[in-house]
């Protein structure tokens, strides 16, 4: 799902009135301010997201802006630090941002959800990875996220691969357990099947062989594993050592990277992964606009940069519907009253809407590791219906 890329943040400050500080940010000045919280340093690097979103906004500005006003994109680096995440959100609110777009921070949703509600700031999030991102009235991610993706890849195993004995091995992150259980239960209800093994005790590091031996003993046809990128390679190498060439390995978007393909593509295993959007390795017509934008931005072509492109693009489409001044209030109203946006990079329409929680992207395409590259298995999205 991601590649590391270094880039500098874009910083801006503004002197604001008391009403703005209270959450009434506006575009009454020379620009319309849009904010983002990103990981430009630290362990969760998402710099390509901001670079791609910036290019989208630059294109709009070069075409005359929104109602004659240019977009000023203010990106703050939280360095993956929760205290810094809280601080930069307050800096953006004080700067008078009317909305957020292109945020890609592992800590943003959990730390700032309450603050965004208080300040009436809406976030069209580029890359959401934690449960809180999908449980807030003020945040609507453009990506599928790990929990719906779990259900989608399991449905692929059930419907397309014909797997019956499906096992789950999960490395839980703090706060994820309920969302993971809901994703698994959603699949069970939709498929009418039950997991043969459901092990949620996998560590973030260490020897993974005991878990694979447990899967062998249970005679699993398919194994769902939700690792961070650094765990994918040792997991699959250990599976090769155990002679598990007849098992379907089901992985999530963090495993879908060029580096993983090159590292384990020669192992001869059946490896599948879900994509966040139209698979980023595909040269499909659906990816044409993003690929052109990311190239001109000088950013890495990853699922992360796809999220940056779509979040900026969707917010721009909503901003164009606003009659009169673009303020925090008018943006909020436009997002909640918007017509759903259909885009070929998504399997379901994206919308913000008036709900108390938002998870509009409910579809994924499945890719398979073939040689040293990922190949799209089916040119149709696996769409997760409501259970």
Q: Is the dihedral of CA 82, 130, 2, 112 positive or negative?
A: negative
Helix (H, G, I), strand (E, B) or coil at 47: helix
pLDDT of 28 over the 70 cut: no
Query: How do residues 187-234 score in pLDDT, each as one tens digit?
Result: 999 999 999 999 999 998 889 999 999 999 999 999 999 978 889 999
Buried/exposed code over 229-251 (b: 16+ C-beta within 10 A; e: otherwise): bebbbbbbebbeeeebeebbbbb
| Residues forming a β-bridge with 32 | 71
Q: Is the dihedral of CA 24, 30, 31, 33 positive or negative?
A: negative
Pair 167, 215: CB distance under 8 Å:
yes
C-alpha–C-alpha distance, residues 129 and 173, integer Å = 10
| Residues forming a β-bridge with 122 | none
Return mean pLDDT, the chain.
Answer: 92
pLDDT band (50, 70, 90) for residue 386: confident
Pair 121, 100: CB distance under 8 Å:
yes
Residue of 107, 151, 80 lying closest to 362 (CA atoms)? 151
Mean pLDDT calculated for residue range 93-105: 98
For residue 45, the model assigns a pLDDT of 85
Pair 104, 141: CB distance under 8 Å:
no
Pair 287, 315: CB distance under 8 Å:
no
C-alpha–C-alpha distance, residues 51 and 49, integer Å = 6
pLDDT band (50, 70, 90) for residue 17: very low
Lowest mean pLDDT among 25-39, 198-212, 282-296, 354-368: 25-39
Q: Is the dihedral of CA 233, 234, 237, 238 positive or negative?
A: negative
Distances (CA, A) of 203 to 171, 224, 333: 6, 15, 44
Helix (H, G, I), strand (E, B) or coil at 127: coil
Other CB atoms within a 10 A radius of the CB of residue 87 amount to: 14
pLDDT of 13 over the 80 cut: no
Residue corresponding to tokens 């019956």: 164
Query: What's the Rg (C-alpha) of the chain?
Result: 21
Lowest mean pLDDT among 7-11, 23-27, 286-290: 7-11
* Domain limits, CATH 3.40.50.2300, in the chain: 18-144+283-356, 146-274+365-383
Quote the tokens at residue 45.
């690097």
For residue 387, the model assigns a pLDDT of 55
C-alpha–C-alpha distance, residues 228 and 84, integer Å = 23
C-alpha–C-alpha distance, residues 20 and 67, integer Å = 21
Query: How do residues 268-317 score in pLDDT, each as one tens digit?
Result: 999 999 999 999 999 999 999 999 999 999 999 999 999 999 999 999 99
Going by their DSSP bridges, the two strands 382-383 and 363-364 should be labelled as antiparallel
Helix (H, G, I), strand (E, B) or coil at 141: coil
The fold of 146-274+365-383 is Rossmann fold (3.40.50)
Helix (H, G, I), strand (E, B) or coil at 170: coil
C-alpha–C-alpha distance, residues 12 and 5, integer Å = 22
C-alpha–C-alpha distance, residues 33 and 22, integer Å = 16
Pair 138, 193: CB distance under 8 Å:
no
Quote the tokens at residue 79.
């360095």
Going by their DSSP bridges, the two strands 373-376 and 366-370 should be labelled as antiparallel
What homologous superfamily is domain 18-144+283-356 in, according to CATH? Response regulator (3.40.50.2300)
pLDDT of 6 over the 60 cut: no
């Amino acid at each position: 799902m991601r590649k590391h890329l270094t880039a500098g943040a874009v910083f801006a400050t503004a002197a604001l009135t008391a009403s703005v500080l209270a959450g009434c940010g506006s575009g009454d000045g020379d620009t319309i301010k849009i904010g983002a919280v990103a990981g430009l340093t630290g362990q969760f690097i998402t710099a390509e997201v901001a670079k791609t979103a910036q290019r989208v906004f630059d294109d709009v500005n070069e075409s005359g802006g929104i109602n004659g006003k240019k977009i000023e994109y203010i990106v703050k680096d939280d360095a993956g630090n929760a205290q810094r995440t809280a601080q930069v959100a307050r800096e953006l609110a004080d700067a008078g941002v009317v909305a957020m777009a292109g945020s890609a921070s592992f800590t943003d949703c959990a730390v700032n959800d309450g603050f965004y509600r208080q300040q009436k700031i809406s976030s069209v999030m580029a890359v959401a990875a934690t449960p809180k991102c999908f449980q807030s009235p003020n945040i609507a991610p453009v990506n599928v996220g790990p929990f719906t993706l779990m259900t989608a890849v399991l449905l692929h195993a059930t419907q397309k691969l014909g797997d019956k004995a499906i096992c789950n091995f999960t490395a839980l992150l703090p706060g994820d357990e309920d969302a993971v259980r809901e994703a698994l239960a959603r699949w069970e209800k939709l498929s009418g099947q039950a997991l043969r093994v459901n092990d949620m005790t996998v560590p973030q590091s260490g020897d993974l062989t005991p878990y694979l031996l447990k899967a062998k003993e249970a005679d699993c046809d398919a194994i769902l594993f939700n690792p961070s990128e650094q765990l994918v390679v040792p997991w699959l190498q250990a599976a090769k050592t155990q002679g598990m060439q007849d098992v379907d390995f089901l992985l999530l978007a963090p495993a879908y990277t060029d580096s993983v393909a090159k590292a384990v593509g020669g192992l001869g295993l059946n490896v599948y992964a879900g994509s966040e959007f139209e698979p980023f390795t595909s040269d499909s017509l659906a990816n044409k606009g993003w690929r052109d934008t990311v190239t001109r931005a000088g950013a890495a072509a990853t699922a992360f940069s796809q999220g940056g492109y779509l979040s900026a693009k969707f917010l721009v489409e909503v901003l164009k519907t606003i009659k009169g001044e673009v303020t925090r209030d008018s943006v909020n109203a436009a997002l909640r009253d918007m017509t759903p946006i259909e885009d070929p990079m998504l399997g379901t329409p994206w919308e913000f809407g008036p709900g108390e929680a938002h998870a509009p992207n409910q579809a994924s395409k499945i890719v398979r590791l073939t040689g040293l590259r990922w190949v799209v298995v089916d040119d149709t999205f696996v769409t997760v219906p409501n259970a």
